[in-house]
């Protein structure tokens, strides 16, 4: 039956879109459970609501719209659950006689995205998490990853600091108990505390007492007043920002062009000997490094530079060598613009790798002359 | 008797004040069975509790005294019955209450309302109007006006 085939294909489509978040209880007539989250580019610390919905179609589907129900949710009060449930029901009626499973799921995700904020008051200060009137300033808030209970960042960090002081006092390492909680320094020391206990048990949710780990609240660090944040976090953000700016993108593209040229010419093009711009890595170093790479390809694994790894297009050793040499320059160049790199070095993230993929400029002559003329432009 | 700790107590922090003002606002509509006695002292509340109908304490009223520390709600408030305290296996005759949430199990997400409701529920589930077995010994120890928060509580059971 053609119609049944179509419906089976639709179920496959839902599975393909939602992957592990889709549980197929029955293929025909379709009966699905879907775990849906708001669109936050997969940043789950920014997901304040989620819902599991049930889609159960009858044998007459799609002439009869499927039953839509919410079988579980987090962060949604009754009113918002009703809103979700009613909207989906209306949508199902509206789409009667169309294959609508994917559309319903997408609609649910849209609705969740539109109400992706916590409701009610912060349990610690009792003031609203999201001000009712739009004039008030919104205090940063966060959720505990395990239980979805939400707090103002400041409030939870203050509380963690308090626990830390208590623990210190009881273990005798500090005599400064309650009297010395300096409101000003509370945030900074809270972060230090988090770092200290990273990985070990951090505490219990003040609301439900569910144990959370320090890593579950790590995302607070980025939300709480980044102006006085610890240098690590701040630098990380800064480097992220710089890595994704247009200037850096253009620069990467230039390098890609040069790299291509080198590959097409069958190897490294040596820059002029009198190049004085490389103050730290000399040309000879680069060439030596390249040679080493040719000999010991296995050592590739040990290099943590992701730029190399992100481009799996070629495996010839000479190409890798030239790329490595090019890399070294990239890093070096970055140094010239004065970007603060944390000691560990922040590798370009996935999103930046897209920029690195070469996208066109193959004017060899031009690039070559540019390479010769200004191998390391100073911005 | 219970005031000795009050004199030396530190004033409420800014955060504690903000939080208490918010709680006080909500007490305009208090939980069933409770009445806040109006005073201008934000740091010490007196609350009237009425025993729930159908329980051993029906038609009886008691006074709860709630003292807030400087760093409320990080620190638990001190909550005692103003004598005469109800006769209950977990309430001492000096008004001290053996209830874990007031001490070890305090959480800053708790409020005066939630404490009150816990205490009323503790009263309501009682099956006998008896003092704790160690009442005299304990009350004797506390004669110098010691706060129940300095007691090392041993939480016997959660039956009543």
- Contact A178/B71, CB-based, under 8 Å? yes
Instruction: Give chain B positions within 8 Å (CB) of A125.
Output: 15, 18-19, 22
Question: Most A CBs within 10 Å: which of B74, B110, B113, as the mutation test of the A interface?
Answer: B74
- Structure tokens belonging to residue A111: 């609705």
- For residue A228, pLDDT over 70 is answered with no
- Contact B19/A207, CB-based, under 8 Å? no
Instruction: Give chain B positions within 8 Å (CB) of A127.
Output: 18, 22
Q: Nearest chain A Cα to B18, which residue?
A: A125
State the smallest CA–CA distance between residue A222 and chain B in angstroms: 23
State the smallest CA–CA distance between residue B23 and chain A in angstroms: 8
Number of neighbours of residue A189 by Cβ within 10 angstroms: 17
From the list A124, A181, A207, the residue facing B73 with the nearest CB is A124
pLDDT category, A154, cuts 50, 70, 90?
A: confident
Catalytic residue among B64, B79, B98, B112: B98
pLDDT of residue A379: 39
- Of A144-153, A198-207, B127-136, B140-149, which range is least confident? A198-207
pLDDT of residue B60: 95
Q: Is A247 exposed, middle or buried (0-12, 13-18, 19+ CB in 10 A)?
A: exposed
In angstroms, the Cα distances linking A85 to A32, A67, A235 are 16, 11, 44
The stretch A69-80 carries a mean pLDDT of 92
pLDDT of residue A160: 81
- For residue A186, pLDDT over 70 is answered with no
- Contact B22/A126, CB-based, under 8 Å? yes
Residue B142 bears catalytic tag: no
Q: Are B31 and B117 in contact (CB under 8 A)?
A: yes
State the smallest CA–CA distance between residue A218 and chain B in angstroms: 21
From the list B13, B74, B111, the residue facing A159 with the nearest CB is B74
- Structure tokens belonging to residue B20: 């208490």
Q: Are A356 and A307 in contact (CB under 8 A)?
A: yes
The stretch A353-377 carries a mean pLDDT of 42
In order along its 160 residues, chain B shows pLDDT tens digits of 444 444 457 899 999 999 999 999 999 999 999 999 988 899 999 999 999 999 999 999 999 999 999 999 999 999 999 999 999 999 999 999 999 999 989 999 999 999 999 999 999 999 999 999 999 999 998 888 788 887 777 776 666 5
pLDDT of residue A139: 81
Query: Predicted ipTM?
Result: 0.84
SS3 content of chain B, % helix, strand, coil (to 5): 30, 20, 50
Could you give the count of Cα atoms lying within 13 Å of A221 in the half-sphere of its Cβ?
Answer: 24
Number of neighbours of residue A226 by Cβ within 10 angstroms: 14
């Amino acid at each position: 039956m053609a119609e049944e085939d179509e419906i089976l294909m639709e179920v496959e489509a839902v599975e393909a879109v939602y992957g592990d978040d889709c549980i197929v209880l029955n293929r025909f007539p379709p009966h699905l459970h879907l775990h849906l989250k708001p669109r936050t580019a997969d940043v789950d610390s920014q997901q304040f609501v989620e819902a599991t919905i049930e889609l159960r179609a009858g044998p007459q589907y799609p002439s009869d719209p499927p039953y839509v129900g919410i079988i579980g949710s987090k962060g949604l009060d009754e009113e918002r659950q009703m809103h979700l449930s009613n909207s989906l029901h209306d949508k199902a009626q509206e789409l009667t006689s169309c294959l609508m499973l994917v559309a319903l799921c997408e609609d649910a995700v849209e609705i969740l995205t539109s109400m992706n904020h916590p409701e009610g008051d912060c349990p610690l200060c009792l003031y609203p998490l999201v001000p009712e009137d739009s004039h008030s300033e919104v205090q940063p808030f966060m959720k505990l990853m395990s239980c979805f209970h939400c707090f103002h960042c400041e409030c939870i960090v203050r509380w963690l600091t308090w626990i830390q002081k208590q623990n210190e006092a009881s273990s005798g390492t500090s005599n400064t108990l309650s009297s010395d909680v300096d409101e000003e320094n509370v945030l900074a020391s809270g972060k230090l505390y988090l770092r200290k206990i990273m990985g070990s048990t951090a505490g219990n949710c003040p609301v439900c007492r569910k144990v959370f780990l320090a890593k579950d609240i790590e995302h607070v660090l980025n939300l709480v007043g980044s102006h006085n944040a610890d240098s690590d976090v701040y630098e990380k953000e800064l480097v992220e920002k710089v890595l994704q700016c247009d200037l850096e993108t253009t620069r990467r593209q230039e390098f890609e062009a040069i790299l291509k040229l080198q590959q097409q010419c069958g190897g490294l093009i040596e820059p002029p000997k009198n190049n004085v711009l490389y103050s730290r890595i000399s040309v000879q170093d680069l060439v030596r490094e390249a040679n080493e790479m040719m000999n010991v390809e296995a050592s590739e694994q040990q290099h943590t530079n992701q730029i190399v790894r992100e481009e799996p297009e070629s495996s010839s050793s000479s190409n890798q060598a030239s790329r490595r040499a090019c890399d070294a320059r990239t890093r070096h160049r970055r140094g010239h613009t004065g970007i603060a790199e944390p000691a560990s070095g922040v590798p370009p993230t996935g999103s930046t790798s897209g920029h690195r993929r070469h996208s066109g400029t193959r004017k060899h002559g031009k690039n070559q002359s540019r390479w010769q003329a200004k191998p390391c432009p100073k911005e | 008797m219970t005031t000795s700790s009050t004199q030396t107590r530190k004033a409420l922090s800014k955060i504690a004040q903000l939080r208490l003002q918010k709680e006080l606002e909500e007490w305009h509509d208090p939980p069933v069975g409770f009445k806040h006695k109006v005073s201008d002292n934000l740091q010490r509340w007196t609350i009237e509790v009425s025993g729930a109908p159908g329980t051993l304490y029906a038609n009886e009223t008691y006074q709860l005294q709630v003292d807030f520390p400087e760093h409320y709600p990080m620190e638990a408030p001190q909550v005692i019955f103003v004598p005469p305290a109800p006769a209950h296996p977990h309430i001492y005759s000096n008004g001290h209450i053996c209830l874990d949430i007031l001490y070890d199990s305090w959480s800053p997400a708790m409020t005066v309302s939630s404490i009150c409701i816990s205490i009323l529920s503790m009263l309501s589930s009682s099956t006998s109007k008896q003092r704790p077995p160690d009442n005299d010994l304990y009350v004797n120890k506390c004669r110098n006006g010691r706060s129940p928060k300095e007691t090392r509580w041993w939480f016997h059971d959660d039956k009543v």
